[in-house]
Each structure stands twice: as structure tokens, then as C-alpha cells.
Amino acid sequence: PLKIKVFMWFVHKQVILTKDNLAKRNWTGYTRCSFRDQHESIKHLFLDCPLAKILWRSIHIAFNITPPNSINTLFGTWLDGIHYDTARHIRVGVCALLWA
């Protein structure tokens, strides 16, 4: 769906309103992750947070694919070497899960 495509474009451009991006806009709230005592950033939220790690571990188990190690890798070389149709389906599923 278009809303997921737009969301993922925002993730790729790193403009999602995570707590660190809100702080750049003079937001004065708590900037730490709700689950871990680390600053909430896009990388933390989608790759390093314990909940994200569960998602990536599930994908690793289901598809035997090493998780991406950066946002740029997620949108670039992460699925290199995987058949195009399979990679497309995996990417659509991952994007939907990240959006949810």
C-alpha cells in the first residue's frame, strides 16, 4: 500500500519522528527508548531495539537471511544474491512489519 511505501521512504531518508529527530525540533520529552536505556534513533528503533531484534531473528530463522546492519543496507545490498521474486516478497513483508 502507498502508506507503507511513503513510510519506508521516510525511514530511508531518516526523517521518521523518532525521539532524537523530535529533539532536533526542540521537543523536550524523554529521548530514551521505552524498552532500553539508549537514545531512540531510526537505527535503534528498526535494527537495534530488543523488539526489532526479535523481528530480525524471526526473519533469519524463516529465510536464513542475515539481518541488515544499517538503514542503508536495508535499502541497498541486504537482499543481494537472493532471487528477485523472493527478495521482493521478503522486502514487502519486512516493510509491512516495520510499518506495523
Whole-prediction pTM: 0.81
In angstroms, the CA 26 to CA 73 distance is 30
Sign, CA torsion 59/64/70/73: negative
How far, in Å, CA of 89 to CA of 77, rounded?
16
Please tell me the predicted confidence (pLDDT) of residue 31.
Answer: 86
Instruction: Output the pLDDT for position 47.
Output: 93
For residue 34, pLDDT beyond 90: no
CA atoms within 13 A on the CB side of 98: 31
What are the grid coordinates assigned to 94, written together?
519486512
CA distance 37 to 31: 9
Q: Is residue 36 over pLDDT 80?
A: no
pLDDT at 8 over 90: yes
How much is the average pLDDT of 62-83? 90
